[in-house]
Structure 1
Amino acid sequence: MQDSYFLYAQHVAKLPRASVSPLISASIRKYAEDFQVNERLSFEPSGSGEHLYFYIEKNNCNTDWVATQLQKHFQLKSKDIGYAGKKDRFSVSRQWFSVHLPGKNREYMPIENEFFKIIHSTLHNKKLRLGSIKENQFKLVLRNLSGEVSKDAVMNLAEQGFPNYFGYQRFGHGANNLSKAELLLTEQLKVKSRNKRGLYLSAARSFLFNLVLAKRVENKTWNVAIDGDCLNLNDTRSFFSCDKLDSEIQERVEQGDLHISGWLPGRQASQVAGDAQNLEQSILKPYMEWLQGLAKAKVDSARRPMRAFPREVQVDFVQPGELMLQFSLPSGCFATSLLRECFNIEDLALREILND
């Protein structure tokens, strides 16, 4: 197996784009306020129960750190704190957290902290679980534009969608999470921390998903079904195997009602067949040791749409060289994967240059 940082640099930082629009260089996250995220849950808290929900605005700190502060403040165990998803550290993000307080006074003393503030609180009868997000709303400022931005090129993404790659954030600074994942999956490293272990395994699965999606983008089948594909029903986690294609299926894919889905490897086998299976196996063949390690780690397999559609897209020219971009994305989609379809992005917060 080649050095995993080399693999990252060659295959992840240089993923093929679906867009044919001329690329313009731009920088993001000069300030945390340049990258704003609002989380919308997939349900409405009931207003009663033993779980206290907080809608928190965090600034320049990560989700796990906020969860730890809540744990310490209420003198609880980590399992008593819940959140629906992680948000970038270098951002101003509004997201929900839950605190389990059975049989306790649910009035709370204000939590004073320079990095986050509580916007709203309510009650619910269940802990907040990972993945309980309907969508994330983004408000981004792009600076240092190298040319004139085509508003139509950005707006077209709402109609055509974009490849649903996992963003570079998933792999850690300098691809460290991916390097650790390789050592973990090849039994050269033992990781006691459940959180770190999860990060490393997630990085490996994301990398393998990206490889298959990259090939589908390259051969122009990321938004066109082939025999044996597993198709995902839009806005749901439901999918089905398609052994035989017909015009109705292809039309539903073209209209965005169905999406081709990619495998997130685990202990269950991929459910693709036919041409889709042959393609997937040919791409993942060099990573059999990784696949075996994920199965041995008892990670459950899952599927992810290969295409994402932004909603509520708005493009505003702030001043020469600056652009404000607003849109909403389904849970699990990366704003940076949308941006890279139209821009060569320099992330000033991470000092990661992502040019091709």
Structure 2
Amino acid sequence: MTDPARLPAADALTFRWSSLARLGERPAEEGTGGELRRELADFQVEELPLYLPAGEGEHLMIHLRKEGHTTGHLLRELARQLRVKDRDIGSAGQKDRHAVTTQWVSVPAAAEKRLPHFALPGVEVLEAGRHTGKLGLGHLRGNRFRVEVRGAPGTAEQAAARLRELEAQGIPNYFGPQRFGLGGINAAEGVRVLRGESNLSDPRLRRFLVSALQSSVFNAYLSRRLERGLFAALLPGDRAKKHSSGGEFWVDSPAESERAARGEVSALGNLFGKKSQPLREEGGLLEQEALAALDLTPADFSTPLAGLRGDTRLTRIYFLEAPQLSPTPDGYTVQFALPRGSFATAVLRELMGGEVDTLPLPGEKEA
């Protein structure tokens, strides 16, 4: 059973980019600097679907563009106006409120006749088509981002050089600040759930907060790999994944590091839950160190209070297509595509340095 006295203090779990190592041992502040999201259109996200409408079936896939709305609010409005049940609406994932985003959703085909009457300020229906199944969570290939960095004149060449490094060496697959909420405190709230101190009754919200704690442990583990020069290497006892096929395997030979150096395979990190398998041997020692720094153990995530099965996540990812960068009078525009579940801010942090896109606590002034 979890011992509340030895779970971590909130400060140790507050998200800060400065506490996480960078590719190539760069200092935390080194980069172009600049400002994000001065306008909504400065941050654009295009969902890359895993499949397109088949043209027939009992479901209707709808392609939407939105700005200023959470995906949750959009789905609730669709349910209300199209007169369908919330549980019958499908989406591949959440999209940022503070951006211009496109994504696919699905509804029962019977709602098709009401779609022309759907109206919500800031939302546009781009196209729709019949499909054989409901769109499921994670049913996307990735996301394409187009980001305007302002307040950084004359830095485009520096940013382009760093982008080439990321393209060649891979991107540290950190969870970004959006994962940790206002003030970066979601992981600390997850500790309160594990301690049995939370008054929250919604099981989905409780799982969400504990999953932020999972993410904090993963970030701490990945940071240690970067600090030790193990980003493009593998240790005995690591678990790894092939980038070409997605196959996973336990590492039992030092020779596997040669494949990692070529970018063919990368280490996985645990998102701890009741079904997780801790890493072994040398890989396990590094994982234990990351957990101990936060005063946690795998057992803390296997209790009924945690409510999570567990998963793994790649420590290194690659762009899905060649990134592009162009100078502007006030900075630069960068476009890149990432696999599903990866954060644009993990790339932007490597370009800009500093505390990129972190959200202040309520009442604090946003920089």
Using structure 1 for the length normalisation, give the TM-score. Answer: 0.90
Match of 1:106 in 2: 112
Cα-Cα RMSD = 2.3
8 Å CA contact retained: 1:231, 1:242: yes
Aligned pairs (5 A) from 1:222-301: 222-234=231-243, 237-246=246-255, 249-285=256-292, 286-288=294-296, 291-296=299-304, 297-301=306-310
Distance apart, 1:43 and its partner CA: 2.3
1:15 corresponds to = 20
The alignment covers a number of residue pairs equal to 347
1:28 aligns to what SS in structure 2?
Answer: coil
Matched, 1:164 2:170: no
Going from structure 1 to structure 2, the CA distance change for 1:351 and 1:259 (only over 3 Å counts) comes to: same
Distance 2:101 2:258 in 1: 37
Q: Aligned pair 1:118/2:125, yes or no?
A: yes
Deviation at 1:57, TM superposition (A): 0.6
Question: Is the 1:36–1:139 Cα contact (8 Å) retained in structure 2?
Answer: yes
Question: For residues 13 and 235 of structure 1, do their structure 2 counterparts lie closer, same or farther at Cα, with a shift above 3 Å needed?
Answer: farther
The residue aligned with 1:46 is 54
Paired residues of 2:61 and 2:106 also in contact (CA < 8 A): yes
In structure 2, what is the equivalent of residue 307 of structure 1?
Answer: 316
Structure 1 residue 74, shift from structure 2 partner: 2.2
* Correspondences of 1:311-350 after superposition (within 5 Å): 311-319=321-329, 321-344=330-353, 350=359
Q: Give the 3 Å change call, closer, same or farther, for CA 269–143 of structure 1 in structure 2.
A: same
Give the Cα–Cα distance (whole angstroms) in 2 for the partners of residues 185 and 155 of structure 1.
42
Which residue of 60, 64, 80 maps to 1:56?
Answer: 64
**For residues 139 and 317 of structure 1, what CA distance do their matches in structure 2 show?**
13
CA distance in 2, matches of 1:318, 1:291: 51
Q: Distance in 2 between matches of 1:201 and 1:348?
A: 22
**1:139 Cα deviation after fit:** 0.5
- Tell me the SS of whatever aligns to 1:226: coil
Q: CA–CA distance in 2 between the matches of 1:107 and 1:235? A: 42
- Quick one: structure 1 residues 100 and 195, their matched pair in 2 at CA, closer, same or farther if it must change by over 3 Å? farther
In 2, the alpha carbon distance for the partners of 1:345 and 1:122 equals 44
Q: Deviations over 1:163-194 (max 9, x none)?
A: 10000100001124223211111111143334
| Structure with more of its chain in strand, by fraction | 1
Measured in 2, the distance between the counterparts of 1:328 and 1:112 equals 30
The separation in 2 between residues aligned to 1:12 and 1:270, in whole angstroms, is 28
Q: Which amino acid in structure 2 is aligned with residue 106 of structure 1?
A: E
User: Partners of 2:346 and 2:96 in 1: how far apart?
Assistant: 14
Deviation at 1:18, TM superposition (A): 1.1
Task: Give identity over the alignment, percent.
Answer: 28
- Asked whether the equivalents of residues 235 and 257 of structure 2 are also in contact (C-alpha less than 8 Å), the reply is no
Amino acid at match of 1:154: L
Find the counterpart in structure 1 of residue 96 from structure 2: 88
Q: Is the 8 A contact 2:82 2:111 kept in 1?
A: no
The offset of 1:54, in angstroms, is: 1.0
Q: 2:239, 2:51 → 1: CA distance?
A: 27
Q: CA deviation at 1:122?
A: 1.2
Deviation larger for 215-224 or 231-240:
231-240
Of 77, 80, 99, which residue of structure 1 is paired with 2:85? Answer: 77
Q: Distance in 2 between matches of 1:88 and 1:46?
A: 27
Answer whether contact 1:26 1:344 (CA < 8 A) is retained: no
Contact 1:26 1:345 in 2 (8 A): no
State the distance in 1 between where 2:272 and 2:180 align. Answer: 16
SS of residue matched to 1:262: strand
